[in-house]
């Protein structure tokens, strides 16, 4: 039997999630609810299969293999696995400049 991981959202990821849902909700509450469910379902899947996401390609090119991402179109859910915990670090719109965002959020102090 596969042991389940605990999924923990960082404060930053929680704020991003709330902002995403609030923005979508301003236009269409039904779509916002569907997107919220889709993102939550993705995080729930990480409990059982934490390595189902790919290593973040932009970071891999820099030699950083510690972050993975789950694509929930158009969002990139960036996370890190530490023992039996999955830390959701950021939820980033894939239409934005990922390199600038990820450097600010994950790699710079």
- Which residue ranges make up each domain of the chain? 6-107
E strand segments, 15-99: 54-55, 67-72, 75-82, 85-93
Of 63, 56, 48, 60, residue with least CA distance to 7: 48
* pLDDT tens per residue, range 19-50: 999 999 999 999 999 999 999 999 999 999 99
Q: Report pLDDT for 109.
A: 46
Global pTM reads 0.85
CATH topology of domain 6-107: YaeB-like fold (3.30.2310)
CA 48 to chain centre: 16
Q: What is the DSSP letter of 10?
A: -
């Amino acid at each position: 039997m596969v042991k389940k991981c605990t999924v923990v959202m960082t404060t930053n990821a929680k704020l991003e999630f709330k902002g995403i849902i609030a923005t979508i909700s301003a236009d269409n509450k039904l779509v916002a609810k569907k997107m919220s469910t889709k993102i939550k379902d993705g995080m729930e899947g990480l409990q059982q299969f934490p390595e189902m996401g790919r290593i973040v390609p932009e970071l891999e090119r820099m030699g950083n293999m510690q972050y993975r991402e789950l694509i929930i179109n158009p969002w990139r859910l960036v996370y890190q696995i530490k023992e039996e915990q999955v830390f959701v670090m950021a939820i980033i719109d894939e239409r934005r400049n990922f390199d600038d965002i990820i450097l600010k959020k994950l790699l710079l102090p």
